[in-house]
Structure 1
Amino acid sequence: MVSRFTLLFIIESFISFGATAKTSNDLQFSGFARLVGGYLSTDEAKYEGYNNSVSFSEKSLAALQADYIINDYFSLSGQLLWHSDETRKSGVEWLYLTYQPNASWQFNLGQIRTPFLKYSDVIDVGFAYPWLNAPQQLYSSYLFSQYKGVNARYLGSFNEVAFSLEAYWGNYSDEIHSSGTAFDVTVDGMYGGVVEISYRGFQFRTATIHANDTDTDLTELDPLIQGLRAAGFPDTADILDIDGGATSYLFGISYDSLNWFASAEWMSVKSDLDILGGIDSFYVTFGYYFDEVLVHATVGSSRQSLNDIENPIPVGIAPQLDALHFAVEEVKTYFPTDDLDSLTLGARWDFRNDLALKAEVSFLKGKEGKTSFFELDVIGSDFDRRATLYQLGLEWVF
């Protein structure tokens, strides 16, 4: 675990570098940082890495971005990110070449953020949104946060209506963490699109991701899968060998005025995997401005369905078959089942143009017998899947 003093030193180093870096008309440096502490009200589980001791090692980060203008049409952008969370890799977050022939068209090539949810592009920039912890029912690590490929975007307007059309294609390879379980996931030929329409204070957004060729490497299950095939149960082995595809759909709407804002997003994930039935999640948030202070409330919900794994292995015939049978039964509790309802109350104070102080409390209500985004030491424990998360943080942009 990273100490808070180490965090402060690294973040301060990023800020100092960003402030003193040489810039020109062709090369510009910018960056952001956040220092976030949290405490979970239970000692029976973890949530987003938090437990019942104060910690700054889950959401704190710092990043430095460089943008270089090559000529009137081409530019190069890169971002280095340092993250305190052990489940996320630090290093190059994105690096891509941009070709912009005119004010309407833009094409990107390289390692790019996946433009799915409203805040997907800026999810690490806490200064860009009201929360300290975006609703996990949607903004969890289920989605493929970035990809290596190409992106095309068109911007247009008609009277008071502005719109953007975006399409992308690429490959993804990374480790996904959910409820304490790590999955190595590779996606070949991921593609999708985004349509966004703005009218006065309203914004409408719809998006999709198609990942038809997904390979999930669960090394912990390899011995069991091999044993099932050797014992003559290939169908059960195929169910546990998670290779297939999934499609995600999103619809969002928001309104922002000088005094208040409201926003909502709904996401549905459909899968052809034998074990994963689907995921349906949404959140609704409302905020009101008191000069430099924003107060907000957010309701979130997620329902995930798993297809039942039929266990055809008989018991009482041979010890080896008994071992396989009970291993399959244990695996049924291995996969995350993230049903969770939450209520988050928070406040944000922009005491400077580049600094914001945030505080929030989240009341979490999961479903007994399911993981509900919690990391459980013992799956069959008596933990009722209810807890309260307290957070306090400082956001910078520079």
Structure 2
Amino acid sequence: MKKTLAAAIIVALGATSTSALAETRINGFASIVAGVMTDKDTSLFGYSDNLSFKPESLFALQVSSDLGEGLSATAQIMSRGENDYSTEFEWAYLSYEISDSTQVNAGKLRIPFYRYSDFLDVGYAYNWARPPQTVYNLVFSTFDGVSIVNNHTLGDWDSSIQAIYGSYDGSVNLLSNEDPAELNNMMGVNWTVSYDWLTARAVYMVAETSISFDNNPDPDQILNQGISLVGAVFPEAADSLVVNEDNGSFFGLGFSVDYNNFLIDAEFTTVEVEDSIVATQEQYYVSVGYRFDTYTVYAITEHREDKNDDNYSGQLPAVLPLSADLTVYPQATYQALLASQEEERDAFTVGVRYNFHPAAALKVDYTSYDVKGVGESNLLSVGVNLVF
């Protein structure tokens, strides 16, 4: 159905009159990426020790129509290799220019979590093979709602402020990539300023967050059973684990430098869901690079730490005899549930970009990824990003 709908739109565009086509633009971008793990029995970003093109290859068309008098419509149609190249609408929204400096958008929009959120899938727009994944780790990137953007100047600085409001209904990546989630009353502000070679930004988002773990990969549902066990003894402690209409927040700071061919990018973010089993995430990356005419070399260091605060285990009994044959340990169970979400990881990447064509770039990238207590994995990838 999705493929049929996308095809119908393209055919309809082709059948439009010449005068209407003058107001319609069709742009596109694509990435053809091959990757392989250098060690047996390891995986990263969807790759294994068998060469694969699927995890990060994609093809997209973006259709923008100027309807006149400040009103326009935009849709982005995406086919991803990881989804067997099925076609979906990535974006679909209306825009209205209130003034020369202010625009309102409504529909399915990109969430401005990160510095490169607007270009997340357009590999040609950044030098790396992929955005640093310890920071760019949220599996959802769009929401349904409205945003307002105001562009202005502050002295010699260019300033852009974006405010959003809306919701998300889909999945997140906690125990798996398929944990059903709802984020309601999502609102936030993204502020970006730039002057000559320096760009800086800050973002803050909040949402009423609910996450179900019914689809987690554990066949025995130990997580849900553990929460039920704790709840039988101390309901307030169980409530501190369940993610049901809890306050979620996202905070980020970042800057970019492009000075005399020296390139620096850095972002720091935190993700928190209060009174829940979701560990608070703190992550950052620092990227440095240098541009040699058509070549750019870069290196990235990344770090992420997920940690939980223990507010209740001291109030739980260490041992609870339920019967002559059954004894449970609520305190240890609670602590184990919190610890199951804690993790620390580091990554280091080196790569090169070669602009071999005005609309295409070749990238070669090597990433070493280490999860504390689990081990290290290493990925070699080669890809071509293009725009048209």
Shorter-chain TM-score range: 0.7 to 0.9
Question: Does structure 1 residue 72 correspond to structure 2 residue 69?
Answer: yes
1:91 equivalent among 88, 93, 101: 88
Alignment pair present for 1:27 and 2:24 = yes
1:265, CA displacement in angstroms?
Answer: 1.0
What SS does structure 2 have at the residue aligned with 1:300? strand
Report the CA distance between 1:274 and its aligned residue: 3.2
Assess if the C-alpha contact under 8 Å between 1:78 and 1:92 holds in 2. yes
Match of 1:208 in 2: 204
Task: Indicate which of 329, 341, 349 corresponds to 1:344.
Answer: 349
1:64 Cα deviation from its structure 2 partner: 0.9
Q: Secondary structure at the match of 1:163?
A: strand
**What displacement does 1:315 show?**
6.2
Give the SS at the match of 1:127: helix
Quote the offset at 1:116 in angstroms.
2.1
Alpha-carbon displacement from aligned partner over 1:351-380 (angstroms, at most 9, x marks no partner) = 111111101101222211xxxxxxxxxxxx
Structure 1 residues 236, 43: closer, same or farther in 2, change over 3 A? farther
Q: Shift of the alpha carbon at 1:154?
A: 0.6
Question: Does the aligned pair in 2 maintain the 1:224–1:327 contact within 8 Å?
Answer: no
Distance 1:180 1:216, change over 3 A: closer
Per the alignment, residue 381 of structure 2 pairs with 391
Write out aligned runs for 1:238-249 (5 A): 238-243=239-244, 244-249=246-251
* Letter of the structure 1 residue corresponding to residue 302 of structure 2: G
Following TM superposition, by how much is the alpha carbon of 1:148 offset from its aligned partner in structure 2, in angstroms?
0.7
Q: Kindly tell me: are residues 230 and 304 of structure 1, through their superposed partners in 2, closer, same or farther at Cα, counting changes over 3 Å?
A: closer
CA displacement at 1:68 relative to structure 2: 0.9
Distance 2:371 2:318 in 1: 32
Superposition TM-score, scaled by structure 2 size: 0.84
Amino acid at match of 1:172: Y
Task: Give how far 1:55 is off.
Answer: 1.5
Report the counterpart of residue 127 of structure 2 in structure 1. 130
Structure 1 length as normaliser, TM-score?
0.82
Q: 1:246-286 CA deviation, whole Å, 9 max, x = no partner?
A: 21211111111352211111112333133335221111111
Cα distance in 1 for residues equivalent to 2:308 and 2:302: 20
C-alpha contact 1:153 1:166 (8 A) present in aligned 2:
yes
Q: Is the 8 A contact 1:362 1:389 kept in 2?
A: yes
Where in structure 2 are the equivalents of 1:99-248 lying within 5 Å? 99-141=96-138, 144-158=140-154, 160-178=156-174, 180-211=176-207, 213-219=208-214, 220=216, 221=221, 224=225, 227-228=228-229, 231-243=232-244, 244-248=246-250
Distance across 1 between alignment mates of 2:363 and 2:82: 19
Range with bigger deviation, 223-232 or 346-355: 223-232
Q: Deviations over 1:212-265 (max 9, x none)?
A: x10101115586278538845433432332221221211111111352211111
Q: Which moved more, 1:172-181 or 1:81-90?
A: 81-90
State the partner residue of 1:257: 259
The one-letter code sitting in structure 1 at the alignment partner of 2:372 is K
Report what 1:7 is aligned to. Answer: none
Name the SS for the 1:266 alignment partner: strand
**Pick aligned residue for 1:63 from 52, 60, 64:** 60
% of aligned pairs identical?
A: 26
Check the 8 A contact 1:261/1:286 in 2, yes or no.
yes
User: How many aligned residue pairs are there?
Assistant: 366
> Runs of 5+ in structure 2 lacking a partner?
none
Query: What is the RMSD computed on CA atoms of the aligned residues?
Result: 3.1
Cα distance, 1:36 vs structure 2: 1.2
1:302 partnered with 2:284 = no
CA contact (8 A) 1:228 1:234 kept: no
Q: Is the 8 A contact 2:318 2:329 kept in 1?
A: no
Q: Deviations over 1:290-316 (max 9, x none)?
A: 111111111111111123484747466
Cα pair distance change 1:230/1:281, threshold 3 Å: closer
2:71 counterpart letter in structure 1: F
State the distance in 1 between where 2:84 and 2:319 align. Answer: 39
Name the CA shift for 1:359/1:235 in 2 (closer, same or farther; >3 Å).
Answer: same
Residues in 2 aligned to 1:87 and 1:215: alpha-carbon distance in whole angstroms: 29
Q: Secondary structure at the match of 1:235?
A: helix
Contact 1:148 1:170 in 2 (8 A): yes
Inter-CA distance 271–229: structure 2 relative to 1 (3 Å threshold)? closer
CA displacement at 1:119 relative to structure 2? 0.5
Contact 1:141 1:178 in 2 (8 A): no
Question: C-alpha offsets along residues 42-80 of structure 1, whole Å, 9 cap, x if unaligned?
Answer: 444422222222121211111111101111210000111
Flag the 1:332–1:154 CA change in 2: closer, same or farther, 3 A. Answer: closer
8 Å contact 1:275–1:307 — kept in the other structure?
no
Cα distance in 2 for partners of 1:181, 1:112 equals 21
Change (3 A) 1:43 1:141: farther
CA distance in 2, matches of 1:89, 1:284: 34
In structure 2, the CA distance between the partners of 1:232 and 1:158, relative to structure 1 (3 Å rule), is closer
> Could you tell me how far apart the structure 2 residues matched to 1:223 and 1:126 are?
39
What secondary structure does 1:255 align onto? strand
* Structure 2: distance between partners of 1:180 and 1:26: 44
Aligned partner of 2:120: which letter? I
| Matched residue SS, 1:140 | coil
